[in-house]
């Protein structure tokens, strides 16, 4: 076990998988010579050379399509989106090519690739560079979608994503790259996709949250514990496929649910979780499911407005108190 | 002025080659004619884009490839798939949406794939398969192979960003891919001069610093010659090329555009039919004595029989079982 940053954990996962499998290569903007816009790929060009760390010009659709074509022939590309906002330029390649080739070829061509990079709210980057992007992808059959909240998860889930035979959308966060945590040293350590993690055990209410919102929910849980409200914080980690079993298991234990998400609420992850909780555990619920979501507006630049855009601790706390009747 | 090459060699062409080229063009023509009939009968649904009139391009270009080379195409791909050697029975079954189809009935006319023939598929978002072709070529180079990728697309893909992104990447990274633009002069109903500031498509090659040439796409030998040289150079030097094959589609854009009368005149279509690639090649083979009338008639009958067999096979093939609906969405990983 070593203590390292989230960024270092990602770097280690890439390094280990490239050592393990010669079919794995990296492709994206500024990942080689520049060492990565957020330094996730630092030092990899030096170790693996230009053949396997491929700097591209700015053409997201073009280089994502190149990765899809290479994957059809059996390579295992890891595409870096400098930020996930730019993945919209490659949305056709992701949705119409990567996600569907296996199906529409009748199982002849699978696409083993990872598309990774930071997404979600960042610090004063404004509307086009600060938004929750997972919603654009988890609706699509054929894609898997991962949001890793801790350094340990970043390493273990990225390794599983690279070894997966399907296209995996792997969205990191600018705001988490610097956080530190314990990470297993074993190069064979992986975390399977599709497994939720109970971050804090509790008995009164289940709070579903991931990435920055997960940490905020943990702070709230700590404070509410002093008032005698026991929160169970569950991190889905993989949004598609989602670990419904673990999540429903928690609901059956606590009978109350609050979903926290940074993105705008309309048709967001909270909508989906509310729906399947209602379908699977309606009789177990003691209160309606509450959603605490980002405002239904683009991300503003002004610091005060930006803070108001994402769910605050106070809003999360209020929602928990409401469902607990406290 | 474009360098449109039309070969008229003084010597007779090889009879075996002539037989092969004529057979494939006739097979495609007959396949497409029968597909149109089956569409009218309701056996085939959705969009159906016929290759009639353009056979010399797919047949001539694919004829220079090795079996381990790759071909990728757009949605007017029946001809390319047949030319790459796929089984017409399984292709027709795919058009019928049946379980013995190449893609298990899940792809249809626009999504034929045949891994056993290195046919990387029919892709139906205009321009989107051009980066995929570059990616396949990237993989060949990465693995140290000497195969090439042949990528067919229409003039309608040229204004798309992905055409330009792909040309740039292929040239920048020296990828073994030959892009063959089938310029049939209409992107659906939009004539080329209404779509492109530069209508001499082969000239985009100059912009990206790669080899480029235009060829008479109605002359199967000329296509074979021009693409043959491009493929040879591509294999030797891992250098991409852009070939513009000037052709014409005799039918509408799809079966939903049967008359194609809004955007082009009847006179134009009749005039272009004078350049029918099959008629020209057959006449030439007969004239120079490469093939006899009897031989040509035998080939015609053989191809008709193959297509009849394909239709019968497709008709007899069952519908895919309902449990296939949710299969092949994700591949089970073996960690």
pLDDT 10s digits, A235-268: 999 999 999 999 999 999 999 999 999 999 999 9
Tell me if chain A has a CB within 8 Å of the CB of B69.
no
Any domain includes B183:
yes
pLDDT of the residue at B258: 75
Q: Give the Cα separation of A219 and A230 in Å (integer).
A: 12
State which residue of chain B sits closest to A190, comparing Cα positions: B335
| Residues B56/B25, Cβ–Cβ less than 8 Å | yes
Q: Give the Cα separation of A279 and A257 in Å (integer).
A: 14
State which residue of chain A sits closest to B138, comparing Cα positions: A70
Any domain includes B7:
no
User: pTM above 0.90?
Assistant: yes
Tell me if chain B has a CB within 8 Å of the CB of A98.
no
Any domain includes B332:
no
Any domain includes B309:
yes
pLDDT tens for residues B162-201?
A: 999 999 999 999 999 999 999 999 999 999 999 999 999 9
**pLDDT at residue B331 tops 70:** yes
Any domain includes B12:
no
Any domain includes B160:
yes
Any domain includes B328:
no
Q: How many structural domains comprise chain B?
A: 1
Q: Which residues contact A138 (CB under 8 A, 6 or more apart)?
A: A145, A169, A239, A240, A269, A272
ipTM higher than the 0.85 cut: yes
Q: Give the Cα separation of B129 and A265 in Å (integer).
A: 35
Torsion angle (degrees, nearest 10) of CA A54, A55, A57, A58: 100
Q: Which two tokens stand for residue B301?
A: 């009958």
Spans of chain A below 70 pLDDT:
none
- Domains parsed from chain A with CATH numbers: 2-183 (3.40.50.970), 197-324 (3.40.50.920)
Torsion angle (degrees, nearest 10) of CA B227, B228, B231, B232: -150
Percent of chain B clearing pLDDT 90 (strictly above)? 92
Q: Give the Cα separation of A309 and A326 in Å (integer).
A: 26
For residue B260, what is the domain's CATH number? Answer: 3.40.50.970
DSSP 3-state percent helix, strand, coil across chain A (nearest 5): 40, 20, 40
**pLDDT at residue B280 tops 70:** yes
Three-state secondary structure call for residue A224: helix
Tell which B residues from 149 to 208 touch A, by Cβ distance under 8 Å.
161-162, 165-166, 168-169, 172
pLDDT tens for residues B81-115?
A: 999 999 999 999 999 999 999 999 999 999 999 99
State which residue of chain B sits closest to A141, comparing Cα positions: B329
Residues of B in contact with A101 (CB under 8 A): 121
Tell me if A106 and B105 make a contact (CB, 8 A cut-off): yes
Domain range for B311: 21-187+198-315
Across the range B260-275, mean pLDDT stands at 91
As a residue count, chain B comes to 335
pLDDT of the residue at B334: 55
Q: Give the Cα separation of A16 and B208 in Å (integer).
A: 37
Any domain includes B204:
yes
pLDDT of the residue at B4: 56
């Amino acid at each position: 076990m070593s203590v390292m940053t989230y960024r270092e954990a990602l770097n280690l996962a890439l390094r280990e998988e490239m050592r393990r499998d010669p079919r794995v290569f990296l492709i994206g903007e500024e990942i080689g010579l520049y060492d990565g816009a957020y330094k996730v790929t630092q030092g990899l060009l030096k170790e693996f050379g230009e053949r396997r760390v491929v700097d591209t010009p700015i053409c997201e659709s073009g280089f994502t399509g190149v990765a899809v074509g290479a994957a059809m022939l059996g390579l295992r590309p890891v595409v870096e989106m400098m930020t996930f906002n730019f993945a919209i330029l490659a949305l056709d390649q992701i949705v119409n090519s990567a996600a569907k080739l296996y199906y529409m070829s009748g199982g002849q061509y699978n696409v083993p690739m990872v598309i990774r990079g930071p997404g979600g709210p960042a610090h004063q980057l404004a509307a086009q560079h600060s938004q929750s992007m997972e919603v654009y992808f988890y609706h699509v059959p054929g894609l898997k979608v991962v949001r890793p909240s801790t350094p340990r998860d970043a390493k273990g889930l990225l390794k599983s994503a690279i070894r997966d035979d399907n296209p995996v959308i792997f969205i990191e966060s600018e705001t988490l790259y610097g956080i530190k945590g314990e990470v297993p040293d074993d190069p064979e350590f992986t975390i399977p996709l599709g497994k939720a993690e109970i971050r804090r055990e509790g008995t009164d209410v289940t709070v579903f949250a991931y990435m920055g919102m997960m940490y905020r929910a943990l702070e709230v849980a700590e404070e509410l514990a002093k008032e005698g409200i026991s929160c169970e914080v569950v991190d889905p980690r993989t949004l598609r496929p989602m670990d419904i079993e673990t999540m429903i298991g928690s609901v059956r234990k606590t009978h109350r649910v609050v979903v926290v998400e940074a993105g705008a609420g309309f048709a967001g992850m909270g909508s989906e979780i509310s729906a399947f909780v209602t379908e699977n555990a309606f009789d177990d619920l003691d209160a309606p499911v509450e959603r605490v979501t980002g405002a239904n507006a683009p991300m503003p630049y002004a610091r005060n407005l930006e803070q108001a855009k994402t769910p605050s601790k106070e809003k999360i706390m209020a929602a928990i108190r409401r469902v607990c009747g406290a | 002025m474009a360098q449109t090459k039309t070969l008229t060699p003084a010597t007779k062409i090889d009879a075996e080659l002539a037989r092969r080229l004529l057979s494939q063009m006739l097979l495609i023509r007959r396949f497409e004619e029968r597909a149109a009939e089956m569409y009218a009968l309701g056996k085939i649904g959705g969009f159906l884009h016929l290759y009639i009139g353009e056979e010399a391009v797919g047949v001539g270009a694919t004829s220079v490839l090795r079996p381990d080379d790759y071909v990728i195409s757009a949605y007017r791909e029946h001809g390319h798939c047949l030319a790459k050697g796929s089984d017409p029975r399984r292709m027709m079954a795919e058009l019928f949406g049946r379980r013995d189809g190449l893609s298990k009935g899940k792809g249809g006319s626009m999504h034929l794939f045949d891994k056993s023939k290195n046919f990387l598929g029919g892709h139906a978002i205009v321009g989107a398969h051009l980066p995929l072709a570059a990616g396949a070529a990237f993989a060949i180079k990465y693995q140290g192979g000497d195969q090439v990728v042949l990528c067919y697309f229409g003039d309608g893909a040229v204004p798309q960003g992905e055409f330009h992104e792909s040309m740039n990447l292929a040239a920048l990274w020296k990828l073994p891919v030959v892009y063959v633009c089938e310029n049939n002069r209409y992107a659906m109903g939009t004539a080329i001069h209404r779509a492109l500031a530069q209508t001499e498509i082969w000239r985009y090659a100059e912009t990206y610093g790669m080899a480029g040439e235009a060829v008479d796409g109605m002359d199967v030998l000329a296509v074979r010659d021009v693409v043959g040289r491009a493929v040879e150079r591509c294999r030797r030097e891992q250098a991409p090329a852009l070939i513009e094959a000037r052709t014409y589609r005799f039918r509408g854009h799809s079966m939903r555009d049967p008359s194609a009368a809004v955007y082009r005149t009847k006179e134009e279509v009749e005039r272009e039919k004078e350049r029918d690639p099959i008629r020209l090649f057959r006449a030439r083979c007969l004239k120079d004595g490469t093939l006899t009338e009897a031989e040509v008639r035998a080939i015609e009958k053989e191809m008709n029989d193959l297509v009849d067999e394909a239709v019968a096979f497709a008709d007899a093939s069952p519908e895919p079982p309902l449990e296939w609906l949710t299969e092949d969405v994700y591949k089970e990983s073996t960690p």
